[in-house]
Amino acid sequence: MNASVSHNVFIKKKKPNESIVFETYWKFAFLRQEAFFRRLSCNQGPWSDDEIINEYKFTNAYRASDRVSQYLIKNVIYSKHWSEKDTILRILLFKFFNKIETWQLLESVFGEISLNTFSVEKYSEVLQRAMDKKQSIYSAAYIMPSGPKKDYIGKRKHEFHLLLLQKLISGSFVDELLSCNSMKDAYKRVLGVESLGKFLAYQFVTDLNYSNYFPFSEQEFVVPGPGAMDGIKKCFTNLGDYTEADVIRYMMENQDNYFDKFGFPFKNLWGRPLQLIDCQNLFCEVDKYSRVAHPEVSGISGRTRIKQKFKPQKSSIEVWYPPKWNINDSIESIYPGVVAM
């Protein structure tokens, strides 16, 4: 496997200066991926020899391996063959709340979520009842902003997102999105959706791209989020002539070299190397990891603690990825019964 892609953008640039955390980036990626594979093989933890990974909660080295992404891929996008419009509606609805329990609540009341069953008024009533019972309907992974107050007077946050979804699906948004020729073009279209900033738009377009209706490569385009900015600040004393996006691409293109250099025999995702979105996320996670491993190194936010502790679940896990990646057959051959579909 060779993850290198030729990009002349780096040839004449002054490279960033590495800090002590730079090697830890590759160490963490290796250790977290090792824990992922051990988890597939055995229900009983601990799944890592690293005390920090065993104690605190970290996302996987590959974004698509995380629990919420896996649910989106298996249960939202590929639960059956959905039309283009249904697929986009389902992805956007899931992403606005980004919470498995909210999706399951709506399905328990309305059955399969589609254009035929979607109703702003009825969905809003169900979600409001859940909120009245003090149930959280939004994920805490990131904050979804509310709509402009002047345009949505008297509307709750969840009503705004349902109204926004209706507006997108009933207008030209879907056709415009499907006509995009690159991930960056699709990102710009999603960025034009009211209330979505750069970080959220990139997350949304990444999830849309899991479906077969979008053929974009995850090696094409990246938008660094706030957590990644923190991690980059810790990994380098200065960036030279590179931007944060350049740094993420540099990590992706040189992953084999650095894993070899530091002696970390990284196992990729059945032949799929780390993509830009994964390298971006790893910067977020190494920011957290280094709060314990390198407390003397400061980032941008100034955070010094990891809030979430790891709570292991002993139930077996099932992994399954977008069919266009062509890796599901490889999983089944190594871990019979692990693939869910």
* In-domain check, residue 316: yes
pLDDT tens column, 204-247: 999 999 999 999 999 999 999 999 999 999 999 999 999 999 99
* In-domain check, residue 73: no
* In-domain check, residue 341: no
Q: 24 and 52 share a domain? A: yes
CA dist 116 → 90, 107, 112, 123, 327 (Å): 12, 13, 9, 13, 33
* In-domain check, residue 70: no
What single-letter DSSP state applies at residue 5? -
What's the pLDDT score for residue 279?
A: 98
Q: Which of 274, 272, 318, 276 is nearest to 78 (CA)?
A: 318
* In-domain check, residue 3: no
* In-domain check, residue 30: yes
Q: 171 and 239 share a domain? A: no
Percent of the chain with pLDDT strictly greater than 90: 78
Q: 165 and 253 share a domain? A: no
* In-domain check, residue 164: yes
Q: 194 and 90 share a domain? A: yes
**Of 208, 242, 270, which closes a domain?**
208
Q: 196 and 110 share a domain? A: yes
* In-domain check, residue 2: no
Q: 245 and 313 share a domain? A: yes
**Dihedrals phi, psi of 331, to nearest 5 degrees:** -65, -45
Where does the chain have alpha helices with state H? 20-41, 51-55, 67-71, 84-97, 100-110, 120-132, 157-170, 173-178, 183-191, 198-208, 226-235, 244-253, 255-262, 276-293, 328-334
pLDDT tens column, 70-109: 999 999 999 999 999 999 999 999 999 999 999 999 999 9
What range defines the domain where residue 169 resides?
79-208
Q: What is the pTM of this model?
A: 0.91
Tally of domains within the chain: 2
CB 270 within 8 A of CB 65: no
**Of 174, 208, 242, which closes a domain?**
208
pLDDT tens column, 20-44: 999 999 999 999 999 999 998 887 7
Q: 91 and 51 share a domain? A: no
